[in-house]
Amino acid sequence: MTVLVFLDPAYDDGRVADATQPQIMATDLGATRGDGIFESLLALNGEARKVQAHLDRLASSARALDLDLPPQEAWRRAIATALDEYTAGADVLPETELTVKLVVTRGVEGATTPTAWVQVAPVPEKTRRQRRDGLAVLLLDRGYDSTVAQRAPWLLMGAKTLSYAVNMAAVRYAQAHGADDVIFTSSDGKVLEGPTSTVLLARVRDGVKTLLTPQLESGILPGTSQSALFEVAKSAGWELGYGPLVPAELYDADGVWLISSIRLLAPVNSLDGQQLPTPPELTEELSALVAKIS
């Protein structure tokens, strides 16, 4: 089941639409040019997580694209409507994990209002399985160097745009070569991010546990999950660090994970075919911290 709620000024709480029927115009610039932005949030027990962090990142993506956004309160009401509508479905268990997608496009060609909607659907079983079983990952060159974001803001490197065809092609490439997912590297050899996730690594030295992630200046999307995890991990006594990181540091790490809002923390079992020692105890410890994020 999929629920759609459009942000429509004529409806305070959003307009529920039939997800089995066409709902956007063929001339919508989101469809014809991928000109828009989105967010994906996890909802547990009918509650969306990290809503403010996602709304803040949506606003920052909108600024990068010069897009007008509906106000945050309108999003919150539309999210609530969509979750109510979903959980009112007859056979939905309260503990069903849901993906809540917020989408904004530049709107129909020639018009000046964006098209904006909330979409709620169950988290795919494959995503939940990867969280449990971990991932075989390939390192793939993204083709840009790690300073491109500053030099070329029109590439929209830190924005979550609808133009994810490249990201999805990278995942298909990995699957065609016997892997599950990807860690992009820059042309100057730095570790960047996954196509839909942030890279995390752990170092344990002389009893000191450090979590590291690539630095934002390398043109990656600021991960809301990584950021929230760093906050709770700090309170739990972890040291924190930011890149630049190179692939050798992934091989030398005491654990490597991909983290994102829907899949949460997925251990990387192998990198370019080489087994990594990511220990289940560290995955459990960090997953318990991730579970505290609300």
Ligand X SMILES: Cc1ncc(COP(=O)(O)O)c(C=O)c1O
User: Considering the rule CB under 6 A, would residue 180 count as an interface residue with ligand X?
Assistant: no
- CA 119, distance to chain mean position in Å, is 15
Distance CA 113, CA 204 (A): 51
Interaction between residue 261 and ligand X (CB under 6 A): yes
221 binds ligand X (CB under 6 A): yes
Structure tokens, 55: 């709304």
Q: Which is nearer to ligand X, 107 or 257 (CB)?
A: 257
Binding-site size, ligand X (CB under 6 A): 13
- Break the chain down into helix, strand, coil percent, rounded to 5: 35, 30, 40
Restricted to residues 25-84, the positions that interact with ligand X (CB under 6 A) are 40
Contact with ligand X (CB under 6 A): which of 105, 213, 224, 278? 224
The type of residue at 145 is D
Number of Cβ within 10 Å of residue 154's Cβ equals 6
Only segment of 24-32, 136-144, 219-227, 231-239 that touches ligand X (CB under 6 A) = 219-227
The residue range among 61-69, 140-148, 223-231, 234-242 that interacts with ligand X, by the rule CB under 6 A, is 223-231
Q: Is 134 or 214 the residue whose CB approaches ligand X more closely?
A: 214
The answer to the question of residue 260 lying near ligand X (CB under 6 A) is yes
Q: What is the DSSP string of 45-90?
A: TTEESSHHHHHHHHHHHHHHHT-----HHHHHHHHHHHHHHHHTST
Q: Are strands 208-213 and 198-205 parallel, antiparallel or unpaired?
A: antiparallel
Closest distance between ligand X and the C-beta of residue 88, in Å? 27
Show the binding pattern over residues 195-214: x = contacts ligand X (CB under 6 A), - = does not.
xxxx----------------
Asked if 293 is part of the footprint of ligand X (rule: CB under 6 A), the reply reads no
**CA–CA dist 142, 197 (Å, integer):** 14
Q: Which residues bind ligand X (CB under 6 A)?
A: 40, 193, 195-198, 221, 223-226, 260-261
